[in-house]
Amino acid sequence: MAYLAMTLLLGSTHAAVKHHARKHVSQNSRATSGTPFGATPDVLQLADTLAQRHQLPRAWVRQQLGTAQFLRGVPKLVLPPPVSTPKNWRAYRERFIEPRRVNAGVAFWQTHRSALEKAEATYGVPAEMVVGILGVETFYGQHMGNYRVLDALTTLALNFPPEHPRAAERQAFFQSELGHFLVQMRQQPAGAAPIKGSFAGAMGWPQFMPSSWGQFAVDFDGDGRIDLLNSPVDAIGSVANYFKAFGWQTGMPTHYPVRFDEARLDKPTLLAPDILPSFSVRNFQDKGAVLDDVAQQHPGPLALVELFNGEDAPSYVAGTDNFYVVTRYNWSSYYALAVIELGAAVKAALP
């Protein structure tokens, strides 16, 4: 679960996610390779910094970064889309809430029903939320990425594109993630195969970035090791643990339908906090939002979530604190609603 700012087909929304790596729409493509970085001054300086920060052997870190390969195409993949690219919720939704993915989700749920029930009992996170995440992230383990994570992270740590609007911040992020990944590499058994993932370093069934792996991943199958690459049960527990850590409230809906009273509508004020729930139900309605009877009983704050539909009118929902929790996996309301709706569709399709 990483910086996962997804490039959307037929419209995009760019998330800046703390713990997840941005995914490429064809990341299950052929393996990539490039030129070794070698012992350049930049490589040695970064290696020494990371070795000291994570208490790793300096010579070993230098050797790892020096033999890592520069992936020429990767820096371009982290650039935002053109400003003129329209966001399109309906087109985005169609990529995920479609028969093949729903059917795969049903099969996954049936296979791992006991683990999903255990996760819900342990962390209070509904099974459909975990199923939605794993379906959107990796199509239930089918698309986990084919880039060597060491190569991808080293490339972005040393060659992050300077034209990115937040280049310094993002490069520092990938340098930090590279350090966490080196710690994981050091713990791997001798002769282990290189770990592969997305072009930005997200790994396994849930596409956790290295720092998220270290902080939120759990051994949910009880075999004595955490393995998000090969254990869907560990992935189930880890996703639920992540949601719980970011404040998931058991029993709270993620969102409600919303309409508008145009005579009283103060949409600029309602949209100003973006997806952060900031309005009591009373204040929300005082500014022209119209809620159904169930939503009017909501005990916490709400946010007006706006989703563009290309040239058509936008869609809106009233997001709760739990909707905001889903966006901590990927800072995108489009992503969050796709996860929610995929999980709901799979649940509805269960025999």
Q: How many domains does the chain have?
A: 2
For range 235-259, the mean pLDDT: 98
228 pLDDT higher than 60: yes
4 pLDDT higher than 60: no
- Paired strand residues for 307: 315
pLDDT at 95: 97
Residue 223 lies in a domain: no
1 pLDDT higher than 80: no
Residues 137, 163, 169, 306: which is the catalytic one?
137
pLDDT at 29: 41
Q: Say how far apart CA 25 and CA 269 lie, in whole Å.
A: 35
> In terms of residue numbers, what domain contains 284?
255-319
Residue 90 lies in a domain: no
Residue 76 lies in a domain: no
Residue 139 lies in a domain: no
306 is catalytic: no
Average pLDDT over all residues of the chain: 91
Domain boundary among 49, 70, 91: 70
Residue 236 lies in a domain: no
Residue 135 lies in a domain: no
For range 244-252, the mean pLDDT: 98
Q: Which residue would you say has higher pLDDT here, 23 or 292?
A: 292
196 pLDDT higher than 80: yes
For range 229-254, the mean pLDDT: 98
User: pLDDT per residue over 37-85, tens digit each?
Assistant: 999 999 999 999 999 999 999 999 999 999 999 999 999 999 988 877 7
Domain boundary among 52, 70, 88: 70
Residue 40 lies in a domain: yes
The CA-based dihedral angle spanning residues 31, 140, 93, 338, taken in that order and rounded to the nearest 10 degrees: -120
Task: State how far the alpha carbon of 295 is from the alpha carbons of 86, 200, 287, in Å.
Answer: 31, 39, 15
Q: Say how far apart CA 57 and CA 211 lie, in whole Å.
A: 20
Which residue type, as a one-letter code, is found at position 25?
V
Residue 307 lies in a domain: yes
